[in-house]
Structure 1
């Protein structure tokens, strides 16, 4: 590999080596060859033309259709101390003239230009006198009419190249291109003796899931709640769906914004910048968003609807995990999505050839959704890459959820459709199966059918999900049109005759993407501050992967920082001291012994503790004694969980006690000597020799209990335990438990346990509470309490709200 290229990579980008495939492309460009590079989104295309740009004599022109990409890329390049600029329609006249002046004064190595601006008289006048070493065409598939994102302005790029006195090296880069599109790019850009590089499309850090028949809004709310600190993009097929989902998430207090062509330029720009700079976590958008978003720490991409083709889908999910960290891509499918995409195709073009091509591409992604084979294998084969075996990174390969036999329920649905004699839509079938007294149902005499009311135990939403799942698995057909109707097919008959089984995998999702340590969060906060100070996006300071490595290795010198991937000489000089200072402060405040971090026990994520019940009883007796003397509630003095941890870890002095969760300086000052005395006396009497282990960065797990308090409380309610007993056992108030229940319902979940709420209020108080709720709303319990008599408790207010407003 070219030594200067590697030195440039390390100095400016902080990486010690190129990603697979990058070095061959760069070497070919430096040898003076025209190049077409097909690399997946997140595969590092920009480095492939930026490194040659820095090494070749002269200026590199990057043709890009993406205004947002230009700004981000130029900001990132300038942050590394490299002269760069962009020219597009977002510039004012003054800004444009300043850049023209900069070109004349040879201030730039890289200039990003929108294709429409290549024919600008002022630009052409100044650029003809400049030594242009390379013209790099990004998103090169836009030049092909067979590509998924054709732009007519790209057809004129070749005219600009041909107008130059000395023809530069011409390079084309794209994330997705079939063989037909590749040939069109080479021809349309006039690439000479072109070398074509096709990198593997396998993004190994991406997990792909296709989920059918789920309540999409509920799924998304639960998923975001479990990944609330992560950045994610949620794609919807239409502006209307973007607005609807955005409003739902906003009402649920999520950090969210939206992006689509119906918003003003100013609003789109602001929303995009808020997302890039980590001021919001979630962007709900149409496919108008994302091309050119060079944000490295997007941890998940959710498709709320079926995308229009595999190229677009793979490009959109490629926006996740550009830093190489594990990320998730989830496609929520329902049969109605296909109808929506067909409508959009009909509205998008009158060219019959392009329309037929779009229908062909739509069929290919529908086939992907229904495939029972590895999803990654299907996609990679589509792009002409051979892939065998299982990826173990998709929902078809991974056994997620439990296989449940739904044959009997399916036979009920199919039997009902058969008995209704003619084809109806989903709503009518649901009404019959649930026993609705809807006038249309009774007018048609469907209340006389044997299947009338046979599935009344299903809610409307759940039954709709089930029917959609039957459709998506091919057990019934959806006959599309202005008014889609459901029809039986050959497979339906086999199920009715018990010749075919209906087995579905019940998906229990929505786990967390990752568990990050506290130092990682501290470093993220510092990154936000520095980015705000410098007016750049946080990922331009350091990527998530770099911060995670810092949080594990605790670098404390320049040499150790330079060993961290993503920290180059330029970045260290700019930010190194601040990160070093923050890490050393964290180490000191948390009594971390850096030298011992590589010991055998320090690599575990959790510190497992088993309660010593006899010692626990002695500690509880101490707590009760202090409670009586002080008049404080026992749990406020010291929590039961803290006492359990003490009983299982046996701290023998005050320094040990500092390492116990929940033991701050005040509690140690008040109770420390007494606790240590009880522990020492106990272990001497029992002849126990404690094997003391420092907690370090690990999370303490007591008696194998990984659940949070709200999960424990809800599970105990499912076991029909009394709410007062639960409050006593987990040491929280009854009001807090009712708060857990309230949050559970607001997330879209249906109660699967009974609550006896009447015992928590009297009828007179209930009337007063209801009046306050009607006047002040039900969202802020503390606000309602301020308008009520003092004797009314929080638990009474929550009980009334649950009973009257939230529990159907």
Structure 2
């Protein structure tokens, strides 16, 4: 099976002229019958990597997906595009499941979406064994690895299930966040050759990363939402209590917001998610229980109001902004108290010692990320084992704030660490420098050090923040798990010797996440919303924001022109072409009339 057929499906069915980075390589391997691992960033177009082969294969493609909401959204989108797809999950009763299995045996569908837990059932495995399964696509494949940030035991049954299926389908594993260790785990468990890994890199060129520190969280969020009024966004918090508090704050300010966490009544949770997907509310305030597999393409911003536990989780959650490829923002609001909260979560967890140690190390990486003054994108890519140049877009790359020479203060901190013989952590170093007089200081005779009280005029929190910055900048290194100690690095030695100067920038202001929309775009968005409500599907299922912007640029008034719009295939043209072109023609006539009136006025 050649790639030309895949290219034809890409254009006629999905309305795209070219494959995105990595898609061609993955599809080529799948069409050649190779088990494949695809590591592509959120919004990188992973779903087309199995949807296009599914349309070319004679047999059935089964997609293992972790969330019911994702299945429904993807099935809605495929059906809206004229593609026969269905799902089987816990939202269906046994009679509905039997009916769909019967339709599948009759060959009525091209794609079937199932939850991983389904494959734990011998009954369901036997039912799948009666189907001509050619490809098994495993979405969110990092869940199969115990070293991933979202390990799910039910994923481990997949390798056994694959062996039991009589057709022995080939496997396509897909994920957006996998360190080298996690990628190796996935390949070994799913029998994927190392040469068959396609990794496009973790960079998201349309995602502008930002870290906000030392600011009032509520004030910043309210100012940000005022500047980005009407745009869709997600605000993440670490606890259910904080989710409800923030939601109440926003609703009191007449911001259309809804909460989402595992403690809500399932019907309320489902309704709130639907309201967000259908653009009835602009902002979803949620714990990490929300989001995996949420296919909403027009999320313009993701704000973490509290620090997450790992960079993997952060980057995956942040990646839910801008799935349509338009410029979007991911903002981390950093407060040291939130790190303590994550420490508490780790301490109270049922992890064994090895995994708890790993969790502490991952949390330290989040702290370093929040305190680096280097490129944020570069920091994250390096964490995933990828070298890169500065992105030029993140809050650090574009930061115009004045730099302050902090070399003397840095030398005081580093000197204190040296005199403590690298036996203590951040807290004790800050206490010594600020001249604290507690039991630990007295028991260890630390007031006798020459660095004791060097920063007596400063608060311990201020000194702790400075230590975090110096650790992120590479002058200090944090060693150990639950109670890490500090040691001076080679770069730090250079500062102590007076060979290197250290600078630190002096609260960020809010900005718009994306350029202001045109009047025509707003008209098309309103039309899309009306059609979505009529058909009871999320608006992005009809067209993405990027497709609407493309319509505004091309102003199509004929079928041929409409097919040139990015994201428009034959099925979309037949369903929506005339309706959208009528709005575009009316806008064009109005613009001509306005221009004519202005021209006449200037002549007079």
Answer whether contact 2:327 2:513 (CA < 8 A) is retained. no
Q: Quick one: structure 1 residues 124 and 406, their matched pair in 2 at CA, closer, same or farther if it must change by over 3 Å?
A: closer
Q: How many residues are treated as equivalent by the alignment?
A: 552
Whether the aligned pair in 2 keeps the contact of 1:5 and 1:55 (CA below 8 Å) is: yes
Counterpart CA distance in 2 for 1:541 and 1:371 is 41
Contact 2:65/2:113 (<8 A) preserved: yes
**Cα distance in 2 between the residues matched to 1:262 and 1:406:** 46
C-alpha contact 1:215 1:465 (8 A) present in aligned 2: no
> Do the aligned residues in 1 keep the contact of 2:149 with 2:312 (CA within 8 Å)?
yes
Distance verdict in 2 for CA 1:235–1:61, change over 3 Å: same
Structure-2 separation of matches of 1:85 and 1:500: 62
Q: For each residue in 1:648-680, what CA deviation from the matched residue of structure 2 results, as whole angstroms up to 9, or x when unmatched?
A: xxxxxx93399xxxxxxxxxxxxxxxxx8xxxx
Contact residue 334 and residue 468 of structure 1 kept, 8 A: no
Q: Determine the C-alpha separation between the residues in 1 that align with 2:120 and 2:195.
A: 25
Distance 1:179 1:556 in 2: 49
Q: Is contact 1:34–1:193 with CA below 8 Å preserved after alignment? A: no
Residue pair 1:345, 1:355 contacting (<8 A) in 2 also: yes
How many angstroms apart in 2 are the aligned matches of 1:510 and 1:36? 38
Partner of 1:394: 394
Distance, in Å, in 2 between the alignment partners of 1:376 and 1:657 is 49
User: Which position in structure 1 is the counterpart of 2:328?
Assistant: 327
1:473 maps to 2:483: no
Once residues 368 and 33 of structure 1 are traced to their aligned partners in structure 2, the CA distance between those partners, rounded to angstroms, is 37
Q: Is the 8 A contact 2:430 2:460 kept in 1?
A: no
Secondary structure, counterpart of 1:523 in structure 2: helix
- C-alpha distance after superposition, 1:767-793 (max 9, x if no partner): xxxxxxxxxxxxxxxxxxxxxxxxxxx
Change (3 A) 1:149 1:221: same
Equivalent-residue separation in structure 2 for 1:529 and 1:465 (angstroms): 52
Does the CA-based 8 Å contact 1:295-1:539 persist in structure 2? yes
Deviation of the 1:270 alpha carbon = 0.9
- 8 Å CA contact retained: 1:141, 1:176: yes
Contact 2:324 2:546 in 1 (8 A): yes
Q: Distance in 1 between matches of 2:407 and 2:285?
A: 37
Where 2:285 maps in the other structure, the secondary structure is: strand
- Structure 1 position 505, deviation (Å): 2.9
Take 1:209 and 1:474, find their aligned partners in 2: how far apart are those partners? Answer: 19
Q: Describe the shift of the 1:523–1:406 C-alpha distance in structure 2 as closer, same or farther (beyond 3 A).
A: farther
Distance 1:423 1:287 in 2: 38
CA distance in 2, matches of 1:549, 1:213: 40
SS in 2 for 1:203: coil
2:450 matched to which residue of 1? none
Deviations along 1:171-196, one digit per CA (max 9) or x if unpaired, are: 11111112211121122223368611
Question: Aligned residue for 2:598?
Answer: 656
Alignment of 1:441-520 (within 5 A): 470=466, 472-473=468-469, 503-511=504-512, 513-520=514-521
Of 522-531 and 555-564, the range deviating more from structure 2: 555-564
CA distance in 2, matches of 1:420, 1:363: 26
Alpha-carbon deviation of 1:149? 0.8
Displacement of 1:511 in angstroms is 3.8
Residue 208 of structure 1 aligns to a residue whose secondary structure is: strand
Q: CA deviation at 1:504?
A: 3.6
Tell me the residue number matched to 1:344.
Answer: 345
SS at match of 2:113: strand
| 1:155 partner SS | helix
- C-alpha spacing 1:269/1:415, structure 2 compared with 1 (3 Å): closer
Deviation at 1:404, TM superposition (A): 6.6
For residue 293 of structure 1, report the CA deviation from its aligned partner: 0.3
- 8 Å CA contact retained: 2:256, 2:282: yes
Instruction: State the Cα distance separating 1:542 from its structure 2 match.
Output: 0.8
Q: 1:233 to 1:419 in 2, by over 3 A?
A: closer
Mapping 1:703-714, distance limit 5 Å: none
CA distance in 1, matches of 2:337, 2:31: 50
Secondary structure of 1:578 counterpart: helix
Match of 1:248 in 2: 249
Q: Matched residues in 2 for 1:307 and 1:514: separation?
A: 29
Match of 1:134 in 2: 135
Instruction: Give the 3-state SS of the residue equivalent to 1:473 in structure 2.
Output: helix
Match of 2:91 in 1: 90
TM-superposed CA distance for 1:474, in Å, is 5.4
Encode CA deviations 1:267-298: one digit per residue, 9 max, x unaligned: 11111111111111111111111100011111
Aligned pairs for 1:589-604 (under 5 A) are: 589-591=590-592
Indicate conservation of the 8 Å contact 1:239/1:262, yes or no: yes
TM-aligned CA deviation for residue 381 of structure 1: 1.7
Write the mapping of 1:296-311 to structure 2, written as runs, cut at 5 A.
Answer: 296-311=297-312
Alignment of 1:636-647 (within 5 A): none
**Structure 1 CA distance for aligned equivalents of residues 72 and 187 of structure 2:** 28
In the superposition, relative to structure 1, how do residues 592 and 556 fare at CA in structure 2: closer, same or farther (>3 Å)?
farther
Q: 1:349 to 1:582 in 2, by over 3 A?
A: same
Are the equivalent residues in 1 in contact too, given 2:210–2:332 (CA < 8 A)?
A: yes
Q: Kindly tell me: are residues 81 and 419 of structure 1, through their superposed partners in 2, closer, same or farther at Cα, counting changes over 3 Å? A: closer
Check whether the contact 1:35–1:172 (CA below 8 A) recurs between aligned residues.
yes
1:522-546 alpha-carbon deviations (Å, 9 max, x no partner): 0000000111111111011111111
Structure 1 residue aligned with 2:445: none
- Residues 34 and 191 of structure 1 are in contact (CA less than 8 Å); yes or no, is this contact kept in structure 2? yes
Contact kept? 2:430, 2:463, Cα under 8 Å: no
Pair 1:64 & 2:65 matched: yes
| SS of equivalent residue, structure 1 residue 183 | helix
Q: Does 1:103 align with 2:137?
A: no
Deviations 1:290-346 (A, max 9, x none): 100011111111111221111111111111111110011111101112111111112
- Counterpart for residue 525 of structure 2: 524
Deviation at 1:691, TM superposition (A): 8.9
Stretches of 4+ aligned residues off by more than 4 angstroms: 402-411, 414-421, 463-472, 499-503
Moved more, 95-104 or 153-162: 95-104
Q: Which residue of 2 aligns with 1:557?
A: 558
- Give the Å deviation of 1:95: 2.4
Shift of 1:502: 7.9
1 CA distance for matches of 2:4 and 2:131? 27
Distance 1:403 1:252, change over 3 A: farther
Aligned to 1:433: none
Quick one: structure 1 residues 118 and 402, their matched pair in 2 at CA, closer, same or farther if it must change by over 3 Å?
A: same
Q: Deviations over 1:577-622 (max 9, x none)?
A: 00001111122234368xx9xxxxxxxxxxxxxxxxxxxxxxxxxx
Q: State the alpha-carbon separation in 2 of the partners of residues 260 and 177 from structure 1.
A: 25
- In the alignment, the residues of structure 2 paired with residue 30 and residue 367 of structure 1 have an alpha-carbon distance, to the nearest angstrom, of 42
For 2:593 and 2:134, the matched residues in 1 are separated by 52
* Secondary structure of 2:47 counterpart: helix
